Structure 1
């Protein structure tokens, strides 16, 4: 008799929501995909989601700043594998911190701030929903649990 391993083993990603003083969201342009995203990356084996954020922020933006509180957990079902996506609060970046951003050229092309209303232009809809939930959690102090980029139990926004 063959034993089937049916225990879920979702990969994890971790990202950070940074805002400017006007409440705009920091987004980055990856070299390896067509749409923009917020800073973050895959959680490596043996690494915590917070640790992944610290590593990615240092490696890809040269920001030596750890993430703040958890804003969003999003269970993201995909065709090949499930993912659990964490978004942490990065707070507001100062002008000095912005002046010292140094992009890793093989990973990121550029960065910009956009108002939450403009994110749909640059990012895929599921990520926009996750980021808007993170902005709301930042504002209210109440973390959100999502499934597929949508508050669990509600219908996704196209």
Structure 2
């Protein structure tokens, strides 16, 4: 059996994209959603992990950049394997607990990122038509993890994996 030289072996390893988001909610369990300018579906604060950036750092950075909230994150709630959809390669999506916000505080957020048009506090059911279905499932898993105190939830395309 011929072995590849180490550097060639490393170059042959698969690469996965990663993203990290932050679940921020109010006392009524409504979720803070961002309305992006660059895509049709709504999202939670977050984004793509930059090269060499850990997901928890991405989540905090993106939250600060997009909605001006820069605070320590709570626990990891969801790790989701996102399969390739033909356009985007497979990857991993993380959701961290961003804690609570009041409706008044959400209304006073200073949005300085041109990528974000507005924020909305909505129940997941009310927001669902505006979300990619896989993100809706991922947020549902994150909310269930918070309520049950059992995190992180491992998902595949937003579906919790059991067993």
Question: Fold-level match, TM-score > 0.5?
Answer: yes
Distance in 1 between residues matched to 2:75 and 2:113, nearest whole Å: 29
Pairing 1:152–2:161 present: yes
Aligned to 1:102: 110
Large movers: runs of 4+ above 6 Å: 1-4
Q: CA deviation at 1:103?
A: 1.4
In structure 1, C-alpha distance between the alignment counterparts of 2:130 and 2:162, rounded to whole Å = 27
Bigger radius of gyration: 2
Task: Output the TM-score relative to the length of structure 2.
Answer: 0.85
Partner of 1:61: 67
TM-score, normalising length from structure 1?
0.87
Query: How many correspondences in the alignment?
Result: 154
Alignment of 1:1-150 (within 5 A): 6-78=12-84, 79=86, 80-94=88-102, 97-142=105-150, 143-150=152-159
CA RMSD of aligned residues (A): 2.1
1:104 Cα shift? Answer: 2.7
Q: Return 5+ residue gaps in structure 1 as ranges.
A: none
